[in-house]
Amino acid sequence: MRTLKITLAYDGTRFVGWQRQADGESVQGLLEDALARFEGGPVTAHGAGRTDAGVHALGQVASARVTFTHETRTLTRALNAHLPADLRVVSVEDVDEGFHARFSASGKTYRYQIRNTPVADPFDRAFVWHLPEPLSLGAMTRAAALLVGTHDFNAFRSAGSEVSSPVRTVTRSEWRNNAGLLTYEISGDGFLRHMVRAIVGTLVEVGRDWRRPEEISALLTGGTRADAGATAPPLGLFLVSVDYD
């Protein structure tokens, strides 16, 4: 047996998410079916993060235990030959037997994109949240900085989270503006269900002057999900990378 580390990129627009489901195409299902062609039997692929329907990835990581002996360079090309064009294997590596894409991860980086111009760009409509009204990027930047550190992120956790503790450490939380394309990047040791989208929705409310930047601190000290902002739509979210020690 060998353990493979598989790095993936995908346009999540039409997928039901990472996780295999009874109806609809999933990233996990398509990858497992492609791996099964070489294994000659079922293969289970574990993902570093269970991206939701409509969420994209630049650097999702999966792990799988297999018996076939194809070289990793050959396997990268061969897997892509059996995958749709909106799902690509970026690389395949042989790793230690104990490696697990999810449990071995030490951190992740996510990116969220907002097109803040009066008219939407038709060429990025599947990858941005279009908000035509003016937003205060300065206020959003001040609010985002308050998220850095170890906090209780319960106010940004949707129902159905499988983890018991909402405490997470955020190491980076920053906004950039490139000609009306607002890009938010957040890095941390782990993320709760819908956490990034809930954070973005709340920061947008700050940008709309619906709440003050300082309210973020209160949300991190005993706030509930009802106290925070609405969940931003999935189309603007990307899993950028997964870190391993």
Residue 243 bears catalytic tag: no
Is the separation of the CB atoms in 17 and 27 below 8 Å?
Answer: yes
Helix axes 27-39, 72-81, angle to 10 degrees: 120
Three-class DSSP category at 41? coil
| C-alpha–C-alpha distance, residues 49 and 10, integer Å | 13
Is the separation of the CB atoms in 5 and 63 below 8 Å?
Answer: yes
Q: How many CA atoms lie within 13 A of 81 on its CB side?
A: 7
Q: What is the CA radius of gyration of the chain?
A: 19
Where does residue 44 rank: exposed (0-12), middle (13-18), buried (19+ CB within 10 A)?
middle
DSSP letter for each residue of 63-124 = EEEE-----HHHHHHHHHHTS-TTEEEEEEEEE-TT--TTTTEEEEEEEEEEE-SSS--TTS
DSSP designation for 227: G
Longest dimension (CA), the chain: 58
Catalytic residue among 11, 52, 152, 243: 52
Q: Which helix (H) or strand (E) holds 194?
A: none
Q: Which residues are catalytic?
A: 52
